A and B are shown apart, each in its own frame.
Chain A
Amino acid sequence: MKKLLLLSLAACQSITTTPSPNPPPPWGVPISGGNMIVAHDGRHAIIADPDRDRVMSVDIASGATLEVPLSKDDEPGRLVEDAAGRIHVALRRGGAVVTLNDKLTVLARRPVCAEPRGIAVDGDSIDVACSGGELVTLPAAGGDPTRVLHLDRDLRDVLVVGGQLYVTRFRTAELLALDASGAVTSRVSPPQVSRPAPEGPELGSGSAPPIPAIAAVAWRTIALADGTIVMTHQRSLQTILHETEGGYGGNCGGGPVEDALTVVRPGQPPFAANPILDGALPVDTALSPDGTTLAVVLAGSGIVQTVPVSALSDPDDGGCKVIPDIGPLGPIGDDLGLPTSVAYAPDGSMLVYYPELPALAVHGTQSKTITYTLPGSFGYDSGRALFHTQTVIGIACASCHPEARDDGLVWQFDAEGKRRTQSVAGRILERGPYHWSGDMADLPTLMDNVFAQRMAGGTVSRSQHLSLGPWLDRVAAPQPPTPADPAAVDRGRDLFQSTDVGCATCHSGPLFTNHTLVDVGTGGTFKVPSLLGVGARPPFLHDGCAATLVDRFGACGGGDKHGHTSQLSQAQLADLVSYLESL
């Protein structure tokens, strides 16, 4: 009786709670985008959820879901469905491809490479592009790889268009075409264009030269029905960056990074389409079933922008972006956080996935939107959100640090000169002080200086100060590919650690840095960088003067002031490079 009374009292008592005064533990992974397809049945959206390590199937009409959990830190990414209805998902950190049936039962889990990225159906096979440069072919029905090609590192998407195999590279935004034997037959990059100088041309009074806008970071590449390939990527304006308030802005009304669409038609050179996308981080692209419209996820601005395919014929003529007159098409925002993926259903409905709640918004063709709140724990991380959200000048942290790594570019700063973007992946909290000059003691200092001031991002909150570091710290350094010659790696390790060569004097400890500032003859005193994942981030040195690790031991590497290597033979240098590639 007494127990019953207590229970009934408890049931009547109102419970009041207040918001947590401190931010929750880190949540989520860097946005990569492109994690959703609509199944061939036209009725289900299949969503890879890299933040919760699972795959979901959502009934588009009812919102009913199925899901299959994967292993912790698998980070499922791109996915495809083969002709037999099997779903193949690339596990970005799991190093495997998992194959599911339409009920999401796991049929197979096959290791492919350290970091699978792109995936495509190629007849009875599946092609998987890996960041380490491997292109792995698997039988769709199951079984071991039938072919492993070793191409350049940093592969991204893989496409099969008219029987021809293509792969893209992420940071250089290259498109490689392969023949049946796997040989690279062509290699094209988006054309370089230019933009008016930030101050505007002083016409008639000595005009400022236009600024080169170079291609970078190919987030997503898809094919249209006629075989045309469309690459959604970034362009980086090679302008001078200032370290003042808003100092990264002023370029065509925005920052130094803009979105771009490059079109590659069969047998024609790549074509730079008129820049009409407006928002940071164009992480996914989908084509409407009638072939007339592209939808591009602009994660940094929280919107999906729809673009008429006909606009891809307008050339980029070197002016600033113009405002397209695109009728009923335009940006679509659901106010549900940062979108990562978009796909179309056969009836023309556009599906947008938002991982935080998580939610799926279905934009019907009659301007009716249904939002499904999907099962799964609520995902929140103010550091992650800050990292991906664009500031008023239209860039996000992830614009230059895509996937919390780096853009592979060298930027010109007004006071410091050239600086190669540093990767922020790999135990960032242990790597202070930050920047090449080591002038940022900790991440909150860096956020206040770079994000709040230079990027005009506004005041950084206490929660953001507390959250960004722990969130970034969970991002692993790039995993190296399996070495082709393990013995060379061993010999290189011996050289690296020998006192005669002296690399390990400064590049010491688990992070391969002793955190000091040293002049190694490269033009100043710089923070000793960590070498974790170094092979994944050319060009090298503070000003990017060494295009390859071999070049690092050439003219601009500092000579014997930067490790005593002049006595090494070419074979020994090759061994040393093999070792560095394995870190």
Chain B
Amino acid sequence: MTLGQGRNGGCNPAPPVQVKRLRSVLQQVVLASLPLAAGCDTAGVGPIDNCIEHASRTLVSEDPSPHAPLQLKIESCRVDVDACIRLCNTLLDDAQINGSMTGCAVTFQDNEVHAAIAYDTVTPGCGAATGRRPDGLAPPRRMHTPSRSALGAWFANVAWLEASSIYAFLQLARELAAHEAPGALVRLAQAAARDEVRHAQLMSRFAQRFGGAQPPVEVAPPRVRTLEALAIENAIEGCVRETWGAVVALWQAQRAPDAEMRAAFALIARDEVRHAALGWAIDRWAMGQLDHAAQVRVALAREAAVASLAAERIDELPAVGLPSAADARRLHARTYSSLWNGGLS
């Protein structure tokens, strides 16, 4: 079965999904908060974060390996030193070291492969806290295991969040269809799920590159809730968290020190703005369906989410272009004054 039901359902006129308007607002928020030297300043990049620890280890594998995927990487490394990175990453994974590899030197000795690998690990808690989360999402199993890498752990956590968002949007589409929302909103929610697949793949690849291991996504079976419950969740996850996710991604697209990361975050930011705009459009449609008391409850939930976001811990990882705590406060304040305080009009 595919999620075909409801794609053309709903006869209500769809409220505007103001992607361009929202993008303009959020870009202004980010631009106004960027330092003058934005894009050129890479100072602070490197292992300066509180959570990073350096380590090294020599891992040994038999050669040839009976494990075909490992043997493929051994043979690739033998004939091309550039291919050894994949071998070292695989050996780290096999040794269950969640480290961000910083060095890899391989030698072949008789019937063994020796890989001297330098890597970074970090203390727990270096994660991200944005994006739409589905109803019934279980906490990530391995979030609190020790010895998480800096970049690897961060990307693994973001990949987990992006993968969670796939379920969130699929669930959103189901519930919108069940509440006979305009077909366009249902379709856009399904399209957003598709975007999140890409985002999850993208972040997962970065996580793999930096030695992170992505926790599995565990979600309770979907259910159709009341429209008010859906509206409250959308106010929190769409109008606040997706919007904040778009702001942070826009910032990272400017500030990440690595061109490849900047390109990735630019792609994600473009989609996240669209998802946030969808959240605001759903908000407008749902509010039109609810009575006054329910509308007040939705608005209060949104305000509480904004306040809660301001109180969340800000990770300081300039290696992925995240805003500093001070920058994040500025971004939050500007998003509040430009958007959350008055809505998207």
Residues of A within 8 A of B (CB): 14-24, 196, 199-205, 245-246, 249-250, 252-254, 274, 276, 278, 311, 314, 317, 319-325, 334-337, 356-357, 359, 371, 373, 378, 380, 382, 392-394, 452-453, 456, 458-459, 461-464
Contacts and interface: CB of A to CB of B under 8 A. Distances in A.
B2 A325 contact: yes
Nearest to B110: A14
20 contacts: A16-B109, A199-B19, A200-B191, A205-B18, A245-B263, A246-B264, A317-B8, A322-B3, A322-B7, A323-B190, A324-B2, A325-B2, A357-B68, A378-B75, A378-B79, A380-B80, A392-B264, A456-B264, A462-B82, A463-B80
Contacts, number: 187
Interface string B16-27: 111110000000
A24 B75 CA distance: 12
B14 interface: yes
A40 to B, nearest CB: 28
B270 A311 contact: no
B68 A371 contact: yes
Given A17-B108, A23-B80, A199-B19, A392 B205 contact: yes
A202 B16 contact: yes
Nearest to B4: A314
Given A245-B262, A322-B2, 5 more contacts: A200-B17, A201-B17, A322-B3, A380-B76, A456-B263
Contacts of B278: 200
B16 A323 contact: no
B2 A274 contact: yes
Contacts of A14: 109-110
A453 to B, nearest CB: 7
Given A323-B166, A325-B1, A254 B264 contact: no
Contacts of B71: 357, 373
A461 B7 CA distance: 44
Contacts of B325: none
Interface in B67-83: 68-69, 71-72, 75-83
B344 to A, nearest CB: 12
Interface residues of B, number: 63
Nearest to B72: A357
Contact of B20 (A17, A199, A382): A199
Contacts of A371: 68
A17 B108 CA distance: 5
A124 B133 CA distance: 61
Nearest to A373: B68
Given A21-B81, A325-B1, A15 B109 contact: yes
A18 B2 contact: no
Which of B13, B68, B84, B266 has most chain A Cβ within 10 Å? B68
A204 B198 contact: no
B262 A203 contact: no
A464 B8 contact: no
Given A314-B2, A380-B83, A319 B191 contact: yes
Contact of B194 (A203, A253, A317, A462): A253
B124 to A, nearest CB: 28
A16 B75 contact: no
B42 to A, nearest CB: 16
B230 interface: no
Contacts of A319: 7, 187, 190-191
B138 interface: no
Nearest to B78: A19
Nearest to B21: A205
Contacts of A201: 17, 184, 188
| Interface SS of B by simple majority | helix
Contact of B17 (A23, A203, A278, A452): A203
Nearest to A255: B198
B315 interface: no
Nearest to A454: B263
A378 B80 CA distance: 12
B192 to A, nearest CB: 8
A205 B277 CA distance: 13
A19 B68 contact: no
B263 A20 contact: no
Contacts of A324: 1-3
A254 B270 CA distance: 12
Nearest to B86: A335
A393 B267 contact: yes
Contact of B2 (A311, A320, A392, A452): A311
A23 B194 contact: no
A323 B197 contact: yes
Interface string B181-205: 0001001101101111111011001
A380 B79 contact: yes
B198 A203 contact: no
B170 interface: yes
Contacts of B82: 23, 382, 461-464
A274 B4 CA distance: 9
B260 A459 contact: yes
Nearest to B267: A246
Given A274-B4, A314-B2, A335-B69, A321 B17 contact: no
A252 B190 CA distance: 10
A458 B78 contact: no
Contacts of B79: 19-20, 23-24, 378, 380
A149 B277 CA distance: 57
B267 A456 contact: yes
Given A201-B17, A322-B190, A382-B83, A253 B197 contact: yes
A458 B267 CA distance: 13
Given A253-B271, A317-B7, A317-B8, A278 B80 contact: no
B198 A254 contact: yes
A18 B16 CA distance: 61
B2 A19 contact: no
A314 B80 CA distance: 46
A196 to B, nearest CB: 7
A244 to B, nearest CB: 9
Given A317-B8, A371-B68, A392-B201, A202 B17 contact: yes
A116 to B, nearest CB: 31
B281 interface: yes
A196 B267 contact: no
Interface in B1-50: 1-4, 7-8, 13-20
Contacts of A359: 68, 72
Contacts of A320: 187, 190-191, 194-195
Given A461-B82, A463-B83, A19 B77 contact: yes
A337 B3 CA distance: 32
B259 interface: yes
A373 to B, nearest CB: 6
A310 to B, nearest CB: 9
Interface string B239-268: 000000000000000000001101110110
A452 B281 CA distance: 35
B309 to A, nearest CB: 25
Nearest to B188: A200
Most buried by B among A196, A311, A323: A323
Contacts of A250: 267, 270-271
B267 A203 contact: no
